[in-house]
Amino acid sequence: MTKTLIAIFLGGGTGSVLRYVIQQLINENLTTNFPWGTFTVNVLGSFLIGLFYALSARLGLSAEIRLLLTTGLCGGFTTFSTFSNDGVLLLKQGHSGTFILYTLASVIIGIIMVWVGAMTGKE
C-alpha cells in the first residue's frame, strides 16, 4: 500500500506542475475568451490516460507504475474542476456561445482522445 501511495503522490505532483507550466505558456501567448490552457491539458490528458492504460496492459506494467501514470500523473494533470470553473466564468461574462463550444468540444474531444490513446497504446 505504501509503494502505491508514493507512486500516486509522485505522479500527481508531477502532473500538477506540468499542468501549471503548460497553462501558463498557452495563456501568456493567447488573448481570447476561450480557455485554451485548460482545454489543451484536458485533451492531452485524455489521450495520455488512454495510452497509459493500453500500454500498461500490453507491457504488463506493475500496478504502481500504472497508478503513477494514470491516477497520479493524469489525475494531477487534467483539470475538471478548473474546466467547470472556466465554464461558470464564461457564463458570468456573457460568453454563452463560447461556453457551449468549450463544453461540447472538451467532452467530445476528450472522449475521442481517450479512445485514440488506447488504440495508440494497443498497437
- What pTM did the predictor assign? 0.84
Q: pLDDT tens-digit profile of 47-76?
A: 999 999 999 999 999 999 999 999 999 999
* pLDDT the model gives residue 123: 72
Question: For residue 78, which phi and psi values (nearest 5 degrees)?
Answer: -80, 160
Distance of alpha carbon 70 from alpha carbon 74, whole angstroms: 5
Mean pLDDT of 20-39: 91
Coil, helix or strand at residue 122: helix
